[in-house]
Structure 1
Amino acid sequence: MKIANVLYLLPLLALSGCALSENLSPPANGKAVKVAVVKPADVDILPMDVIYRSEKCRDKIFTSTGAINSRAGYHLLTVPFNPEKGSDRVSNNIALDGGGQCEWKLSNIKFDFQYHNMKKFGAGVKRSIPSDIVFVFDRNAPPRGDGHYDDVYGVIEIKKNYYPLIRKKNTDEEMLVLRVQGQPMLTYRVHDANSIVFEPIFHSDMVVNAVPPKKKGGGYTLIYPNGDEIIDRYFPNSEKTKYEFVKQKSR
């Protein structure tokens, strides 16, 4: 699998305490993982944050007591998705072995996705919050997560459902925030994979409105597509915001 299409995206990050060259240099015939997304027409798939780690070139860090410790060095790339001709997919190939004197290894991949045009949900929508997905390839902690991983193997195909949640901000009655709502903290630990296909399924007609409480300590009022209203004290990540629950409230 060709990996030359990511080589132009190899910037340097300074690693304290490392006298070796920090360049990435993936082997010409090295293994790569193809990351593809089935792109909905009204959704933007943002570039991947790709992190390589090195045990050979370690970072020096200071603990809370002032002692010096070390951790695996890291190298961050921003890798765009490329449209696949004649397809609704976007994709790119990511080298598993970053090579170089530091012997970089792929650690994790993260990318966001959001609605292309937030204004279609109303002129009052002033901000759009994306959702994301993380794939972990080693035992290092990813940039975000709650410590829970789903293990995936081989040819990986993932489908997840999402819907638009519009939240009114407490501080400004006129400001609405559009959020891509689905399963939070979606994180996978990847084993022996050479391809990943992610298909986010967007249900743009299943709009849920979240109205803040009038008094401090109260719950948000959730207004569902069928007109039902429920007060949710555990908003935003509660059972009442899960896709299957919202689907029932859309009939």
Structure 2
Amino acid sequence: MVKPIDTRMVGTRFFRLLTVVCMMFFSLSGCRQDYSLAPPANSEKITVTVKLPKELKTETMWVMYRSAICKSVSLGASGQRLEQDGRHSVYKELERQGESDLYQVELPKDGGGACRWHLANVTFGVEYADPTRFGENVTYGAGGGVVVIFDYNNPPRGGIDIKVGGDLTIKKDYYPWIHESFIGGYSKAINLASEGGIYINYQALQARTVYFEPVFHPSVLVSSEGSKVHKVGNFIKFTYPDGSVVADGQSKPDFWKLQSIRTGRAPECFSRWRYFACPDPRPRLLPDWLPEPDQPGFGRYVIVNEWGSRLPSYSYRLVGKDDRTYEEKTDVDGFTDPLPDSAHPVREVDFPVGRR
């Protein structure tokens, strides 16, 4: 006996199946939902500028917008519904500003559209412009990347390294690094060695301008060779510009060593956290004149190190506007002794003795 088909049940099952398909395959077209960007004309802009050394070129910028309305829906291992903010990627090329070395792009903060997109993060950077100058088959490897996050979501790569308030200015040193690999086939790549990883992640919630200046030192070249056979104790061998060879288990060059070779200063002088051991500190006097509230007619200066940290018990010698010489040591907070108004602004600043 043939049983009749319940068309209502079939229709319900089809509708449910269609819904699941829409959930699993979230895309720009969606299930009759408009996921496109439509920035309003009055949207606030975020400007990203790169000051480009002649040996480098800019990478294509990956721009990510997010939406709390148009969710990205998937199914978990147990079939449960998983929701995340929807994501929309855009790719931009930074444009050269006239004949200058500045490259720039403007991005609408408000992505608009039915999904009410907002700018979440940007990924950009620099790379070696002509890898073949190091050999016919040399390719670009890695390094020189920056990620800036404008909301509270995690970045596409790793976690947040640095949080900043207001606009963001990034100025970092980079060195050319040639690496040869042997296991699994020979390859040779030119990388950019710097402080941190391939990408440095910044969270800048209030930023409206982002300025990135990679300071490139093409003459300070470090090279490395990977292991030729898998063997315990075989490490990457680094050859530095001063002729030293190091194979200490590290996967990238010692950035502080490169800084030291280039400048002749101790590696500790380039690290905020190790600066206390720097044998060649370079203090400076901040120009702000701070009136002394309990001593009318007098004020103080602040003496800081290269990182902007105040220097306690640091010897100084100042020649004031009144031609008088004031020589002492800073207090525990890095302040000079109270000086009369007639000494401001100072004519000469010297640190003859330094920290004692």
Greater shift, 214-223 or 159-168, is seen at: 214-223
| Amino acid across the alignment from 2:155 | P
Mapping 1:17-166, distance limit 5 Å: 19-123=32-136, 125-131=137-143, 132-145=145-158, 147-166=159-178
The answer to whether the 8 A contact 1:164-1:178 is kept is yes
Change (3 A) 1:24 1:214: closer
The percent identity for this pair of structures is 29
TM value normalised by structure 2: 0.61
The answer to whether the 8 A contact 1:17-1:59 is kept is no
The higher radius of gyration belongs to 2
Check if 1:222 corresponds to 2:238: yes
Please give the secondary structure, in 2, of the residue aligned with 1:22.
coil
Check if 1:189 corresponds to 2:203: yes
Change (3 A) 1:17 1:120: closer
The answer to whether the 8 A contact 2:38-2:113 is kept is yes
Answer 1 or 2: higher relative contact order, Cα 8 Å, separation at least 6. 1
Uncovered stretches (5+) of structure 2, i.e. residues with no partner = 1-25, 265-356
Deviation at 1:126, TM superposition (A): 2.4
Check if 1:213 corresponds to 2:259: no
Match of 1:170 in 2: 182
Change (3 A) 1:19 1:174: closer
Please give the secondary structure, in 2, of the residue aligned with 1:64.
coil
Change (3 A) 1:60 1:230: same
The answer to whether the 8 A contact 1:52-1:75 is kept is yes
In the TM superposition, structure 1's runs of 4+ consecutive aligned residues that sit over 4 Å from their partners are 15-19
Change (3 A) 1:99 1:18: farther
Please give the secondary structure, in 2, of the residue aligned with 1:69.
strand
Please give the secondary structure, in 1, of the residue aligned with 2:259.
helix
Match of 2:327 in 1: none
RMSD, matched Cα: 2.1
Change (3 A) 1:174 1:52: closer
Query: When you count strand as a share of all residues, which structure comes out higher?
Result: 1
2:190, 2:119 → 1: CA distance?
Answer: 33
Match of 2:306 in 1: none
1:199, 1:66 → 2: CA distance?
Answer: 48
The answer to whether the 8 A contact 2:241-2:261 is kept is yes
Uncovered stretches (5+) of structure 1, i.e. residues with no partner = 1-12
| Residue 199 (structure 1) aligned to one of 194, 210, 213 | 213
